[in-house]
A and B are shown apart, each in its own frame.
Chain A
């Protein structure tokens, strides 16, 4: 079931909300059980056969968590370690089978010219998310950080439908206590007002903005495979369109998840904080998919040694973390390369900071406005280039699009612009700028010339959802970032009118099944 569907908005959500708060009057356990059951229904609506897998994963990890904890109480460290290793290996094997088995076999086949195959394996939705969530639980249990072992709360923490399929990646220590609070089970109008607002902002981002620009992505990225040489403009239109589609799709999903959860009185962690406003790549990763960054830092980068073992080792750890982070997104070399690119960016960024420090400059000193804008632009361009690799079906396509973006196929402008630009067009033409017929893409990408600047303005100049609702603590781990009062949401007639209009516009724009991009990860 999709958040952006009539069935979810008009049926599932109201029924689950009413059921939750009515049952909460009788028993909090019933209400939590109801929410777990509804979450399993939500998951099973996609593919009933994988509900068993999800439940088995929950029971298995909960049981191992309990055994690890008991071994800890008995101070049996070796048993504790053995149990942890078995549990971790089982989780990773499950993920490896469903997500990576065919990728690895395919890679072996291409190297060894063999024909190994496991047949078609359907990737269970959200497997990367619920596996990572539970790995964190197991590791924290081992380290003695887990305080609560209520099975219903644990099941709800893993299966909770707002985050189940595409995150945020929750941490038990920020979720399970909330399921224990009495206030969570009491209907609260403020939660509902904030939740509704955030949910519909997210729906608007997904349905109007992300789906609106999505049409300009596919033709560009499928052109190289069809033997079409992209022009400079076409390649940039495709790359920027995808950059913006992914941004609004994922931040839209994250907003909807946060909004939905808030309606139930549960606050989710922040997952997005205007990542394209980042002035360097380190900052980008503190703003993009923040819960994944946190997971990779806490459960991969730091256990690998983090920055505690000298600079070279730190850079190796960074590269390893980002390569695995790339692989987490999907079983394909393009994802690995994307992770590698970001690893390289991070190493360069950290190296630059170290060099500045060595030369006596403070790398944390705020930049001047022009320098900040320049840094932001540079970071953005690096991110765009990496998204091309991320989106491309294969490395050949990625190289073809990047080459065109670099102007290696020429700087031909669409012929229609020669006339549209009047004297300017004539002047450019006279000075050697080529205008050529562009029959393949221009009819498709015409609208992109308006969409891209408009969406870039929103990305760079508009406040984000959390900033707008900062006064109501919309998410955990909020970053302090004050905005002018007129940009701050409050229950008022102006915000009500804007909210209703946006909500209605987004709702009537749900015309087709449009999955979130992050569902595939």
Chain B
């Protein structure tokens, strides 16, 4: 072979192989970005979308222009199917789950601002943890949100690896998300160990809390809440004509029970009441806010080894999410099934608890024996 032949063949082989890799990744589309070639048994199921979600969802939002979005952390990403008819007004609103696993409040706030400035958002459901909701500087996030480098999803070794993984895992149960962005997480796994871990973690936190008498601290926190981020979110929603609905993430009753045992639950309710008052005054009653703490057949359902309402003590499945969405958005309902207004009284909650425990004497025993809590 002459040097001339070597150079020409080297260049041809190099560019041809790169082109083939690019075309292969483009067709398989493990990042679920192009969404134009979906062949059953080949690439229709996207098991690796999870690893691309943070980068791809914002680009999809800009491209698909949803009108109704769900924001928050993994609780919202796992728990809500945005195609729920109550949420998307029976398909009148194009909807998307724009929540991200592990997203902090600061990120949720920036995601919200990004969404309302890059899509024609009419409705937004935002999850939060009762506590400080401070303002965050979104400049840094805006520099990266929605900046998808197509080379990364076409011409990298990791993209090739993800494509091969996609082809290898085409069982329906391997999908990581729905097309509209809802995350399946551990939906098909035995929830037992995850519950166990959550409850054990809570017990360990509880022991620390008791040692540092958190109750008084929580109470004082309620009086000195920083809600500047929430304020900004409400004002942004109003400026863009967005129907903003807020909700505190629910918990399984086992966790509520531990909260009560550990003390400080009343302070948590005070916090929620303060937040509710703030929302009411800031939005002049235009923004609705809900919580789902309670003892009922959904939140207190015993955990079995099969798929149920909960994946762990905090992550609810979309069956629960659907009920929550109907409570929050189905205006034909007389009274909600699970939801309470965010400012509802702690006494009502305690009364409901008493009634439930009396009518379900097995609750305590289940909790203790199932989770090895002595």
Chain B binds chain A: yes
List chain A positions with a Cβ less than 8 A from chain B: 6, 189-190, 192-193, 196, 491-493, 495-497, 499-501, 503-505, 507-511
Does B152 lie at the interface of the complex (its beta carbon under 8 Å from any beta carbon of A)? Answer: yes
Q: Which of A190, A497, A509 contacts B3 (CB 8 A)?
A: A190
**Residue B158 interfacial (CB < 8 Å):** yes
Q: List 19 A-B contacts (CB under 8 A).
A: A6-B155, A189-B3, A189-B6, A189-B7, A196-B10, A491-B1, A492-B1, A496-B1, A499-B10, A500-B13, A500-B14, A501-B17, A504-B14, A504-B17, A508-B21, A508-B156, A508-B157, A509-B156, A510-B156
Given the interface contacts A496-B10, A500-B13, A508-B21, does A192 sit within 8 Å of B157 by beta carbon?
Answer: no
Select B14's contact among A190, A193, A495, A503, beta carbons within 8 Å: A503
B2 in the interface (beta carbon within 8 A): yes
State A501–B21 Cα separation when bound (angstroms).
12
Of A189, A493, A497, A510, most buried by chain B (CB within 10 Å of CB) is A189
The one of B1, B13, B18, B159 in contact with A507, judged by C-beta atoms closer than 8 angstroms, is B18
- Against A, the Cβ 8 Å flags (1 = close, 0 = not) of B1-24 are 111111101100110011001000
In contact, A196 and B156 (Cβ under 8 angstroms): no
- Does B39 belong to the interface (CB within 8 Å)? no
The residue in chain A whose Cβ has the minimal distance to the Cβ of B8 is A189
Q: Is B151 an interface residue (CB 8 A)?
A: yes
**Given the interface contacts A500-B14, A503-B14, does A193 sit within 8 Å of B6 by beta carbon?**
yes
CB-based nearest A residue for B4:
A189
Closest chain B CB from A204 CB (angstroms): 12
Cβ–Cβ < 8 Å partners of B125 in chain A:
none
Q: Which B residues touch A495, using CB under 8 A?
A: 6
Residue from B1, B4, B6, B9 with most neighbouring chain A CB atoms (10 Å): B6
* Distance of B17 from chain A, by nearest CB (Å): 5
Interface set of B (CB-CB < 8 Å, partner A): 1-7, 9-10, 13-14, 17-18, 21, 151-152, 155-160
| A511 pairs with B158, CB closer than 8 A | yes
Which DSSP category, helix, strand, loop or mixed, fits chain A's interface? helix
Identify A511's interface contact among B14, B17, B152, CB under 8 A. B152
Residue among A499, A508, A511 with the highest chain B CB neighbour number at 10 A: A508
Cβ–Cβ < 8 Å partners of B5 in chain A: 491
Cβ distance B227 to chain A, nearest Cβ, rounded Å: 35
Name the residue on B nearest A6 (C-beta): B151
A508 to B18, CA, bound (A): 8
Contacts of B4 in A (CB 8 A): 189
CB–CB A504/B158 < 8 A? no
Q: Are B156 and A192 in contact (CB under 8 A)?
A: no
For A496, what are the chain B residues with a Cβ–Cβ distance below 8 Å?
1, 6, 9-10, 13
Distance (Å) between the CB of A20 and the closest chain B CB?
Answer: 16
How far apart are the CA atoms of A493 and B6 in the complex, in Å? Answer: 8
Q: How far is the CA of A499 from the CA of B9 in the complex (A)?
A: 11
Q: Determine if B157 and A505 form an interchain contact, defined as CB atoms under 8 angstroms apart.
A: yes
Hey, which chain B residues are within 8 Å of A508, CB to CB?
18, 21, 155-157, 159-160
Partner of A192, one of B3, B17, B21: B3
Q: Is A500 touching B17 in the complex (CB atoms < 8 A)?
A: yes
Q: Nearest chain A CB to B70's CB is how many angstroms away?
A: 31
Please give 11 more A-B residue pairs, beta carbons under 8 A apart, in addition to A496-B9, A501-B17.
Answer: A189-B4, A193-B7, A491-B2, A491-B3, A493-B1, A495-B6, A499-B10, A500-B13, A508-B18, A508-B155, A508-B160
Chain A neighbourhood of B2, CB < 8 A? 189, 491
- What's the least CB distance linking A125 to chain B, in Å? 24
CB contacts (< 8 Å) of A189 on chain B: these are 2-4, 6-7
* Nearest Cβ on chain A to B85's Cβ, whole angstroms: 42
A270 to B236, alpha carbons, bound, how many Å?
A: 62
Asked if B13 contacts A511 (CB within 8 A), the reply is no
Nearest-Cβ distance from residue A426 to partner chain B, whole angstroms: 29
- B154 nearest CB neighbor, chain A only: A508
Chain B minimum-CB-distance residue to A196: B10
Q: Across the two chains, which residue of chain B brings its CB closest to A190?
A: B3
Chain B nearest CB from A6 CB (Å) reads 6
Most buried by B among A192, A193, A509, A511: A193
Separation of A508 and B10 alpha carbons in the complex (Å):
16
Q: Considering the chains assembled together, what is the distance between the CA atoms of A196 and B10 in angstroms?
A: 9
- Alpha-carbon distance between A491 and B158 when the two chains are bound, in angstroms: 31
A318 smallest CB distance to B (angstroms):
45
Q: How far is the CA of A497 from the CA of B13 in the complex (A)?
A: 8
CB of A85 to closest CB in B, whole Å: 49
A325 CB, nearest partner CB in chain B, Å: 38
CA distance A6 to B150 in the complex (A): 12
For B21, the closest partner residue in chain A by CB is A508
B157 touches A511 (CB 8 A): yes
| Residues on the B chain within 8 Å of A6, using CB | 151, 155
Q: Which residue of A lies closest to B22 (CB)?
A: A508
**CB closest chain-B residue, reference A506:** B157
**Residues on B with beta carbons closer than 8 Å to the beta carbon of A190:** 3
Shortest Cβ-Cβ A-B pairs, 10 listed: A491-B6, A500-B13, A189-B3, A190-B3, A189-B4, A193-B3, A508-B157, A193-B6, A491-B1, A504-B17
